[in-house]
Amino acid sequence: QVQLVESGGGLVQPGGSLRLSCAASGRAFGSYTVAWFRQAPGKEREYVAATRRNNSNGVYADSVKGRFTISRDNARNTVYLQMNSLYVEDTAVYYCAAGQRVILSSLGRWNAYDYWGQGTQVTVSS
């Protein structure tokens, strides 16, 4: 069983930066693929980025590539999402998700993940 807790959301101006954190409880955190998804009001949940188990390289949605960076610290059981050059369109609730059996072709599918956090609100507005 894994519990995920997101933090770091808030209000930021366009062009600004935020760093989200996803703290996990449970053992063998390094064996989990961890992803960030987001959901804006009236829209479907959208894949943002993932870090595969024991692999620090991130896999990004085209909409955030070059602006967002996902990283993980397995010793701290924490995954981060550094968000730079934020747009108004990045406004959403951001969710952290984890799964042990997520294959490469399923990274962007929300139903490939077994555990979810409660979400943290990110608002980009002037």
29 falls in which pLDDT band (50, 70, 90)?
Answer: confident
Residue with tokens 């909409």: 63
Whether residue 111 is predicted with pLDDT greater than 90 in this model: the reply is yes
Whether residue 55 is predicted with pLDDT greater than 70 in this model: the reply is no
Query: For residues 101 and 15, what is the distance between their CA atoms, to the nearest angstrom?
Result: 36
Which has the minimum average pLDDT: 16-20, 63-67, 72-76? 72-76
Q: State the pairing for strand pair 115-116/92-99.
A: antiparallel
Q: What is the mean pLDDT of residues 66-85?
A: 95
In a 13 Å sphere around the CA of 41, the CA atoms on its Cβ side amount to 4
Query: For residues 63 and 71, what is the distance between their CA atoms, to the nearest angstrom?
Result: 18
74 falls in which pLDDT band (50, 70, 90)?
Answer: confident
Query: For residues 96 and 118, what is the distance between their CA atoms, to the nearest angstrom?
Result: 8
Who wins on pLDDT, 57 or 110? Answer: 110
